[in-house]
Amino acid sequence: MAILKIARMGHPVLLQRAAPVEDPTAPEIRRLAADMIETMEDAQGAGLAAPQVHVPLRLFVFRVNPDRATGDADDTAVLPHRVVINPSVTFIGEDARLRWEGCLSIPGLRAAVPRAWRIRYAGVDTDNQPVGGEVTGFHAGVVQHEYDHLDGIMYPMRMTDFSLFGFNEELMRAAQSQMATKASGS
Ligand code: NI
């Protein structure tokens, strides 16, 4: 296994449409998926798409950590990590909500991006077994984000309100001072 180099926004590989994986069970695809999981975990990311590691193929990995799962019946469950190859995504219903996203290719920044609350997605894993299902919340959001990478779409291209875009540190500082103001009752 290996930690892979992550392409940052501005690199052309992030803007191209990725090609389908011909054989999801091929040894090089298994190795790529394993390396991507290791790279995602090392970078403390929630998801990583193959174009982000300079491989323009339709494959991504993601995970739903316990701190992301709200426990609400309509929200997401914890998922250690999942490989999704040659995926399709269908929006269910009209409900779109702003969710805060970061991206390993846009380090240090976050933004609020409108995403469908409920989706259905389908793909296969490296054993060619079907993965996916109908999901909501964080799970649905991260799948939409990673799927976009396969079509050369970065999250700023989905944004509608650029005032909700900033550096993690500044956004955290702003949230903390807002909480302090609320706590003091002013
Ligand atoms: Ni990303």
Centroid of ligand 1 to alpha carbon of 117 (angstroms): 18
Q: Is residue 3 part of a domain?
A: no
Tell me the C-alpha distance between 33 and 3, whole Å: 11
Q: Which of 139, 104, 138, 103 is nearest to 121 (CA)?
A: 139
pTM of the model: 0.93
Contact status, residue 57 vs residue 19, Cβ threshold 8 Å: yes
Q: Is residue 21 part of a domain?
A: yes
Under DSSP, is residue 39 helix (H, G, I), strand (E, B) or coil? helix
Contact status, residue 119 vs residue 92, Cβ threshold 8 Å: yes
38 is annotated as an active-site residue: no
Centroid of ligand 1 to alpha carbon of 84 (angstroms): 15
CATH number of the domain that residue 164 is part of: 3.90.45.10
Centroid of ligand 1 to alpha carbon of 127 (angstroms): 25
Question: Could you say which of 38, 41, 134, 146 is catalytic?
Answer: 146
Centroid of ligand 1 to alpha carbon of 178 (angstroms): 28
Q: What is the domain range of residue 76? A: 12-184
> pLDDT tens, position by position, for the chain (186 residues)?
799 999 999 999 999 999 999 999 999 999 999 999 999 999 999 999 999 999 999 999 999 887 777 666 666 678 889 999 999 999 999 999 999 999 999 999 999 999 999 999 999 999 999 999 999 999 999 999 999 999 999 999 999 999 999 999 999 999 899 888 887 765
Under DSSP, is residue 87 helix (H, G, I), strand (E, B) or coil? strand
Q: Is residue 6 part of a domain?
A: no
From the CB of residue 29, how many other CB atoms can be counted at a distance below 10 Å? Answer: 20
Number of domains in the chain: 1
Contact status, residue 33 vs residue 169, Cβ threshold 8 Å: no
Q: Is residue 5 part of a domain?
A: no
Q: Is residue 2 part of a domain?
A: no
The angle at the Cα of 29, spanning 28 to 34, to the nearest 5 degrees, equals: 100
